[in-house]
Each structure stands twice: as structure tokens, then as C-alpha cells.
Amino acid sequence: MPSTSLCVWWLIGSARFGVNRSCLSINPVPAAPYPPDGYTLYMPALSVFLPAPGKAANTAFELPRDFAPIGSVTEQPMFIAAAPSLGVTTLPELIALAKQRPGEISYAVTGVGRLTHLTGELLQLRTGIKLLQVPYSGGPSHALNDIMGGRIPLIIEGYQGLAGAIQGGNLKPLAVASAQRLPDFPNLPTVAETLPGFKAMGWQGLVAPVATPEAIVRKASEDLRKVVSDPTLAAQLAGRGSYPLPMSPAEVTAFIRDQQQQWSPVLRQLAAKP
């Protein structure tokens, strides 16, 4: 299961990260056997702990079996956004329209198997609606061209990919799949306000090889929390649709288990499709 995450060096006591450029875009498999000395850590995405869509239900990696959790870095909540031509301004209006027109409303999927795709599948599973999936490769840029050209009316994506279209009035955000309303979008409802418990967000954490000494894990976790809690950094990240999400090692393990439970029905459904 490939990952686009980074292998990083943690500089103990400095609360700074340095990129180990030889480990860029690595698979988590070679990250696990590194010496448990606190100098080589792995920054996985959530997808590392989920089975690939359409594959067997067993996950490739588990916490704390395969890695020692250190903390959480950021989250990137998914936005559900519609073109003005669709004629809806809220998520309940979209759901009502989709029920009137089953299978007729197309939505852009910017990468089959990505979180954007899974979020659309979860939305349909939770509401009973049926949307027409239109897959795109290469991120949201091609999809946005079709949205602005009037060919696709709906997209689910992180804010960074949609910012220009939203700011230019070509897309109307209907809801965001974060746990709470975002501070920079106070008037944008969460999906959970319509569908209780609904959350969908990209995530990055920090883990160490198994058997890393507890003192090193604790120190790295404390320093990581200081970094991601910095207000200046938070403001910079928010402009990219990314938000600090500090967690303790135990909270990371609980979070991953919660996410595995949330996405299991969607992944089973995709695995059952021919």
C-alpha cells in the first residue's frame, strides 16, 4: 500500500523537523525496521491503516503492533461543494434533490480509492441517495475545469484544491466534514449537523519503529504538540485547508481504531462491487 508521506528525522529537544530526503515518498514497510533510536520516524497518512478499496478487509498496518504512536500533526476536512447551476445551497437541499433524481447528479471523484471517493460513498451510504461518479486523475484541476464548464455540478475535496473556485464564486460550499465548524468558515455547517457523527478528513500522524524507548516517544510527543499548537503555524496551515490536531500516543491509537470502524462499511461495500 503506497504512501506519499515522509520519513523524517526528529531533532530531540529542538521541536523542529528535518526531512531525510532519502526517505521521500516511501512505503511504510521499509520504515518499520529502522533502529528504534528516535532519529528516524515515519509520518503516515490515514490510508496506511486502512485496507485498499476493493481489497481484502484486513489492514496492512496496525497500532501499536507495527509502529509506536507518537502524536497527530494535522487534519484536512473534506468539503462538499456544488456549482451554482445545481440550485442547492445546503446539504439537506442536495440530499432532497438527489432523492428526487437518483443516479442523475454527477459528482467529481479526484482519484478512485482516495478519501474524496470514500467520502462520496459514505455520503450515499448514510443518506440512501445515489450519485453518478465521474472519476478524474491528477487532482482536482481537471474536475474544476468541467465544473466551471457546466459539465459536472458537484465535488468533494479538501479546501486547498477548491479555494480558487470557492473564492471566485464558481463553487458553493454546502458543508464541511469536520468534527466542529471551522474557525475561518463559521457560517459553514458541518456534515454532522445533518448526519450525526459524519466525519471525513485527511490526517497525518507521527510514529516510531516498534520498541522505541518510552522516554523518546514521550519527549517526541511533547515536542510535536508544541509545534502543532503554535498559533502562527496554525494560521499558515488554515489557508491551505489544514488544521493542527494534537494528540497523545494513546489518542492516536484510539483515533485510528475509530477511523477503521467508520470506513469499514464503505470499504466492504466497495470490495463487494464487481
pLDDT digits (tens, 9 = 90+) for 158-187: 999 999 999 999 999 999 999 999 999 999
Q: How far is CA 194 from CA 117, 223, 254, in A?
A: 20, 37, 25
Q: Can you give the pLDDT at residue 84?
A: 95
Mean pLDDT of 111-116: 86
User: Which residue ranges does the chain devote to CATH 3.40.190.150?
Assistant: 6-75+201-272
What is the CATH topology of the domain spanning 6-75+201-272? D-Maltodextrin-Binding Protein; domain 2 (3.40.190)
Give yes or no for a cis peptide into 249 (omega within 30° of 0): no
Strands, E assignment, the chain:
6-11, 16-19, 41-43, 67-82, 106-110, 132-136, 154-158, 172-176, 201-209, 243-244
Decide if pLDDT at 53 tops 80: no
Model confidence at 5, pLDDT cuts 50, 70, 90, reads very low
Decide if pLDDT at 127 tops 60: yes
Asked whether 120 and 95 are in contact (CB, 8 A), the reply is: no
The torsion angle over the Cα atoms of residues 261, 140, 144 and 129, rounded to 10 degrees, is -20
Q: Comparing 40-54, 124-138, 232-246, which segment has the lowest mean pLDDT?
A: 40-54
Mean pLDDT of 244-273: 90
User: Which residue ranges does the chain devote to CATH 3.40.190.10?
Assistant: 76-193
Decide if pLDDT at 242 tops 50: yes
Asked whether 74 and 237 are in contact (CB, 8 A), the reply is: yes
Decide if pLDDT at 23 tops 50: no
Amino acid present at 77: P
What is the CATH topology of the domain spanning 76-193? D-Maltodextrin-Binding Protein; domain 2 (3.40.190)
Model confidence at 124, pLDDT cuts 50, 70, 90, reads very high
Q: Can you give the pLDDT at residue 120?
A: 96
Q: Can you give the pLDDT at residue 253?
A: 95
Q: Can you give the pLDDT at residue 131?
A: 97
Mean pLDDT of the chain: 84
Q: Comparing 9-18, 112-121, 261-270, which segment has the lowest mean pLDDT?
A: 9-18
**More confident position, 133 or 51:** 133
Asked whether 118 and 51 are in contact (CB, 8 A), the reply is: no
